[in-house]
């Protein structure tokens, strides 16, 4: 399983994303709301690899001093062609891009084989996932549920996810 370093939101932004999760579920569509794990929460993956050693945590604590950080959840986007992943773009501000690069630099020596390509600086698309495995035929309904207004928000926390052990370690927030 993958390991990742993730930004989490403040309570108001977390609640805004969860309202979208709930709206999708209420419409009978796939939704992240259906995942009942206690570690399931809205987040933005900053880096992801096959393994990130826990000894990165001290370095991450220093980087977390950049929080809180304002953000804006922008337009819905889709990844994939057949089983779609529906996300909201996180508009890439200067501060977010700088933090992403810093976290990538800090995590690099603690990753077995480096980050997955889509998580590398200059190749990363910041986003928060709303649902996975959406059928293309259901995309118009999902977009109608979400609307198109941007959502102002704030990043307030940082965590490291160990997908093998299914444990999230809260670094800040």
- Parallel, antiparallel or unpaired: strands 3-9 and 43-49: antiparallel
Predicted pLDDT at 144? 96
pLDDT number for residue 124: 96
Instruction: Mark residue 107 as left, alpha or beta (left: phi above 0; alpha: psi -120 to 50; beta: remaining).
Output: alpha
Return the residue matching tokens 């998580």. 119
> What is the per-residue pLDDT for 86?
97
Range of the domain at 63: 3-172
Judge whether 160 and 57 are in contact, CB under 8 Å: yes
Overall domain count for the chain: 1
Please, what are the averages of pLDDT over each run of 10 residues along the chain (173 residues)?
95 97 97 88 96 94 95 96 95 96 94 89 96 96 91 97 93 91
Instruction: Compute the distance between CA of residue 39 and CA of residue 56 in angstroms, rounded to an integer.
Output: 20
pTM of the model: 0.94
Give the CATH number for residue 9. 3.90.1140.10
């Amino acid at each position: 399983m993958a390991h990742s370093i993730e930004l989490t939101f403040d309570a108001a932004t977390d609640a805004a994303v969860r309202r979208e999760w709930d709206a999708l579920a209420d419409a009978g569509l796939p939704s992240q709301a259906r995942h009942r794990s206690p570690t399931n929460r809205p987040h933005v993956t900053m880096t992801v690899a096959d393994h990130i050693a826990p000894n990165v945590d001290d370095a991450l604590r220093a980087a977390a001093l950049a929080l809180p950080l304002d953000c804006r959840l922008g337009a819905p986007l889709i990844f994939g062609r057949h089983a779609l992943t529906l996300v909201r773009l996180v508009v890439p501000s200067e501060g977010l891009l700088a933090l992403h690069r810093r976290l990538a630099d800090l995590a690099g020596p603690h990753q077995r084989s480096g980050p997955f390509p889509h998580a590398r600086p200059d190749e990363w698309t910041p986003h928060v996932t709303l649902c996975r495995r959406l059928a293309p035929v259901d995309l118009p309904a999902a977009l109608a549920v979400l609307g198109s207004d941007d959502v102002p928000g704030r990043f307030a926390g940082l965590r490291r996810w160990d997908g093998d052990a299914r444990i999230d370690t809260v670094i800040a927030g």
